[in-house]
Amino acid sequence: MGQCGITSSKTVLVFLNLIFWAAAGILCYVGAYVFITYDDYDHFFEDVYTLIPAVIIIAVGALLFIIGLIGCCATVRESYCGLTTFVVILLLVFMTEVAVVVLGYIYRAKVEDEVNSSIMKVYDEYNGTNSNAQSRAIDYVQRQLQCCGIHNYSDWQHTRWYEQSKNYSVPISCCKSNAGSCTGSLTHPEDLYQEGCEALVVKKLQEIMMYVIWTALTFAAMQMLGMLCACVVLCRRSRDPAYELLITGGTYA
């Protein structure tokens, strides 16, 4: 019965280590995705610490690859030292992922305040040229999220760009994709996106942060199972001298 339990634990542990290798790639992808996506919206928030969860999750992904290698070798050879190291590192990574979840929730709550405090400034610096970073960011967001202005398209009437252009229109990026003849003129509001960008930017950034949180929670649960299986193997070795002699090839005196 005990031998069956130890064999099952080893099998699950080897399988989990293979999953850890795949998880390493997934975590690095998630972290990179967050960086790339946030880069498209970086003008709408000023707190660089918002990216800390993404940095941590990339580091965890790299560490998981090493953990998988140590775990596989230690499990196959049933090395006490290797399995102990494996459990300790898994525990550290588990604690790190818990920190990612906590930070994710903290910064998810801060996203709305960050966007609210900076979006007006970004829109006020819009000049409609491709060389202007704020202009590129706003045009990108309005096309991608299908929105116009901060709360709605009428917000453009209060910007410096609108006052200086004096053409009574909003940027072309406000035009609906199916409105082929749209020039951004306010005389044809039906051709413009009706929803403002502020709420949609906040929603997008919060969705990304939840993506990070759920990824961290999922792999944290897997690591708990890995630690449990490793502990079963270690306890079996420490409590059963006969099992120790069996795997080392020794004999009773």
Beta bridge partners of 192: 175
| The listed CATH number (1.10.40.50, 1.10.600.10, 1.20.1050.10, 1.10.1450.10) that belongs to domain 109-232 | 1.10.1450.10
Task: Say which residue, 46 or 154, is predicted with more confidence.
Answer: 154
Taking every pair of Cα atoms in the chain, the longest distance, rounded to a whole number of angstroms, is: 99
The per-residue pLDDT of the chain, averaged, comes to 78
In the predicted model, is pLDDT for residue 155 greater than 60? yes
Q: Predicted confidence band at 101 (pLDDT cuts at 50, 70, 90)? A: confident
Distance of CA 143 to the CA centre of its chain: 23
The pLDDT of residue 88 is 84
In the predicted model, is pLDDT for residue 156 greater than 50? yes
The pLDDT of residue 8 is 60
Sketch the domain layout of the chain as residue ranges. Answer: 109-232
Report the predicted TM-score, pTM, of the whole model to 2 decimal places: 0.71
The pLDDT of residue 23 is 78
Q: Predicted confidence band at 47 (pLDDT cuts at 50, 70, 90)? A: low
